[in-house]
């Protein structure tokens, strides 16, 4: 058996990557996208990003693969990774469809006869509270997504859940922009918690019209009105 000194060094593209480094890069890349510093369609240049984050290419590429899985970036031949192209009209369509699906879920699932079915929403809201106290935008975004998916599941409608699931990654991308916009507008991490507390309270009181009203005024209007400024002009 060769001594440790005789073992050749690993090639940079095949070295073992510490998960915490990848997570830090994922967080940093998300912040670049959510803040608008890089916009939809912008190329993510590896040399600049490795220098910015102080990492080698393997953790950067793993982080980019994670963001590709999450629908925030995509890979193009001869261009490498770019921020997922999306227009203001795309986001408006996504939000319109989201409201239609959530409205149907409320109409089918409220009132909730079994309180245990509300547990996933309550758990997601508690995770949101913890994340807001830490001002952890990634965790807030994840809890937000879990909350709304739990709302969809109240309907106990397989095809409705499947339709929402097909939209979920695009919606997560839009929610990331919305969350970043509201944070810049209000500088209040608890804003997202209060909005979801109000929505859950109305569901718990089995008031379908109040729930639908809350969904229609769930903090999206200002975001949708400022989309061109946030994501840039049409490509």
Confidence of residue 99 (pLDDT cuts 50, 70, 90): very high
Please give the pLDDT value at position 6: 42
CATH superfamily of 88-231: GntR ligand-binding domain-like (1.20.120.530)
| Residue-averaged pLDDT of the chain | 87
Q: Is the pLDDT of residue 235 over 70?
A: no
The span from the CA of 5 to the CA of 9, in Å, is 9
- Write the pLDDT tens digit of every residue in 125-149: 999 999 999 988 888 988 999 999 9
The pTM of this model reads 0.76
Topology alike, domains 4-83 and 88-231? no
Q: Is the pLDDT of residue 10 over 60?
A: no
Q: Is the pLDDT of residue 189 over 70?
A: yes
- Write the pLDDT tens digit of every residue in 40-87: 899 999 999 999 999 999 999 999 999 998 778 999 998 899 998 888
Fold classification of 4-83 (topology level): Arc Repressor Mutant, subunit A (1.10.10)
Q: Please report how many Cα atoms fall inside a 13 Å half-sphere around the Cα of residue 184, on the Cβ side.
A: 13
More confident of the two residues 231 and 29 = 29
- Structural domain boundaries of the chain? 4-83, 88-231
């Amino acid at each position: 058996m060769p001594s440790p000194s005789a073992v050749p060094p690993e090639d940079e593209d095949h070295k073992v990557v510490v998960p915490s480094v990848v997570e830090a890069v994922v967080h940093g890349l998300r912040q670049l996208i959510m803040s608008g510093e890089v916009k939809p369609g912008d190329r993510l240049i590896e040399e600049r990003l490795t220098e910015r984050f102080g990492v080698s290419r393997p953790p950067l590429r793993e982080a980019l693969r994670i963001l590709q899985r999450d629908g925030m970036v995509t890979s193009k031949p001869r261009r490498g990774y770019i921020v997922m192209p999306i227009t203001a009209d795309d986001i408006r369509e996504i939000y319109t469809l989201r409201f239609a699906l959530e409205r149907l879920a409320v109409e089918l699932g409220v009132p909730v006869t079994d309180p245990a079915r509300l547990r996933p929403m309550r758990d997601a809201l508690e995770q949101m509270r913890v994340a807001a106290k830490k001002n952890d935008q990634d965790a807030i975004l994840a809890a937000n997504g879990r909350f709304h998916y739990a709302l969809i599941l109240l309907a106990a409608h397989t095809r409705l859940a499947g339709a929402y699931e097909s939209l979920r990654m695009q919606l997560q991308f839009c929610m990331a922009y919305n969350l970043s916009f509201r944070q810049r507008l209000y500088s209040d991490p608890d804003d997202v918690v209060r909005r979801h507390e109000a929505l859950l309270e109305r569901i718990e009181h089995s008031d379908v019209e109040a729930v639908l009203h809350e969904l229609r005024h769930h903090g999206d209007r200002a975001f949708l009105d400022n989309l061109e400024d946030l994501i840039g002009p049409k490509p």
